[in-house]
Structure 1
Amino acid sequence: MAERKSARCDAVVLAAGAGRRFGGRKLLASFEGRPLAAGALDAAFAAPVGRVLLVTDGDGDLAAFARDHARALGREADLEIVVTAHAAEGMGASLRAGVEALRSDPDGVFVFLGDMPRIPSGLSQALVRALAPDVDAVAPRFMERRGHPVLFGRACFPALRALGGDVGAREVLAALGDRLALVDSAEPGVLFDVDRPEDLA
């Protein structure tokens, strides 16, 4: 098919980081009047996905917030909390845990970062439309910089399940060459993340 408007996808939200540059846990810190993690969860649930997997290091407060947030959206049954014992390894290990936890065999998986609260609405649908037969992954681009979330097609799953350390999926994306499609976005939110307390302002 030329495009996969009906692709079956799930979403993984990476939320297991220690927040070292922030000075500690940050995803429940207040950002624009609500916990920082709310933005990523909203974006994940707004995507055309069946399930949202939140990867944590066992933070019970974050898990409780996520469940309450999903319940308020009417999506509590679609949320799964994935606890990884390898969070200290870094983002790659957390992403590996999320992809390993996929129960079904979806056509793709969105990867959202828990500290990116300004992902524009409607972007995920544009990424799905770009997941064509000759494309293995899709990412947004703002002013020539690749952003998030990334939609990985099924062909990327073996490489994602082999990840470790703190590199994340950069090497997986770099290896794709022209099988990585970039979708231009007019929204800087695809690049904005919260690393330090001053970023909350």
Structure 2
Amino acid sequence: MPAYRPTANCIWRSFRASSKKHLILTGSRGSGKSTLLSALFPQPMPGLTSYVVPEDGVYMKKNLSGEAVQIGRYQADAPGNTNKMQPVPKAFLTKGIEFLDMCIRHPSDWVTIDETGYLEQTIPAYQEAISRLLAAKHVLLVVRKQKLPFLDALCKRDDCFLVDLDKPYGDTFCIIMASGKSKRFGANKLLTDFNGKPLIAYAFDATEMLGQNRLVVTIHPEIAHICKKQDIPFLLHNLPDRNDMIRLGTGAIKNKASHCLFLPSDQPLVSRETIGALLFCAKNAPDTIWRTCNQNTVGSPVVFPSAYFDELSALPPKNGGNTVIQNHREHVRLLPVTQHYELADIDTPEDMQAMKIIAAHARAK
């Protein structure tokens, strides 16, 4: 399991930005699917919840009325490797479909189903009823993590936003850009104390969920030393320009990354939640460049799909990723930050002092 579990708000923000209709949660047993569903919809919603009675069977319950029906029966004498929980077709074809049709008629825009899994696989008429529900409503659907045609088809629907809690961010990497010379600051700002930690530490904290799928690209041996102590991958170089840093970083991760998030290391108030939401957006729209914004102001971080790695590696001298963005504006989408100061960077000692005041106010709320 990832060290940092995505929050309900992180998932909801990315889902809303995606413009998709349905939200699917999947993952192995114990990954937190049902807990997350409850956090997303704290109040009882129209829909269905399945639960197991050990050595008896699986029951499907209507959320609002509590009416239940047995949809799976435990068969201790099932031969060989046969699943001992077998479907009760009549229950699906009568009460199951009836329950779904009642959800369609309910005035709520949203319906929740926890969960859909192995038992539904052999009941085509019930699958068709779920398709009717998906056509009529927004559905938050918990899907069992199992390779079955019906479950795979649900997860691959174009109108579904998929959150896999076993590997929430896929094969996305992050390049933490730490090669600036801090000329306007007068010293290495990334090593300067910001509320008890070096400024660079905030970039490490914000991207913690990516673990070893990070690369700090820096010209500073002191930064490389910090990375080594914290077991964070780094690339130490002595080249002068931004395009050099991007080329080196992209070249180092391009054979193993589906996307790359570029994070400046001087934005201490960008949140983990915003980073996570940006990564979810990228995973669910794999051909899109995603960047953060505040109203009409765009900013960093930015996520590029691997299709743009070659172009990023061939930037003109002194150019950055914005050159690629301008070349492909039709493929860019925006994720709003929750607070305007997440996009603010530090260039001068005055900037740092102002940012400390903002951070103190944010902590006091």
TM over 0.5: yes
User: Relative contact order (C-alpha < 8 Å, sep 6+): which is higher?
Assistant: 1
Aligned to 2:214: 52
For normalisation by structure 2, the TM-score amounts to: 0.48
Please state how far the C-alpha of 1:138 moved relative to its aligned partner: 0.5
Q: Which has the higher helix share?
A: 2
Q: Which has the larger radius of gyration?
A: 2
- How far, CA to CA, are the matches of 2:178 and 2:316 in structure 1? 16
Unaligned runs of 5+ in 1: 71-75
> How many matched pairs?
189
Partner of 2:192: 29
Match of 1:65 in 2: 226
Quote the offset at 1:52 in angstroms: 1.1
Q: State the 1:95 CA deviation.
A: 1.4
Where do 5+ consecutive residues of structure 2 fail to align? 1-155, 354-365
The CA distance in 2 between the partners of 1:27 and 1:4, in whole Å, is 36
Identity %: 24
Give 3-state SS (helix, strand or coil) of 1:85's partner.
Answer: coil
Q: 1:187 aligns with which of 321, 324, 339?
A: 339
Aligned AA (2:278): L
SS in structure 2 at match of 1:152: strand
Do 1:134 and 1:179's aligned partners in 2 also have CA atoms closer than 8 Å?
no
Say if 2:237 is the partner of 1:84.
yes
Residue pairs, 1:1-201, within 5 angstroms: 1=156, 2=158, 5=163, 6=168, 7-46=170-209, 48=210, 50-57=212-219, 59-68=220-229, 70=230, 76=231, 79-86=232-239, 88=240, 90-102=241-253, 104-131=255-282, 132-133=284-285, 135-201=287-353
Which residue identity lines up with residue 222 of structure 2 in the other structure?
A: D
4+ long deviations beyond 6 Å: none
Contact (CA 8 Å) 2:224, 2:236: kept in 1 or not?
Answer: no
- RMSD between aligned residues: 2.0
Residue 73 (structure 1) aligns with: none
TM-score by length of 1: 0.85
Distance, in Å, in 1 between the alignment partners of 2:273 and 2:216 is 21
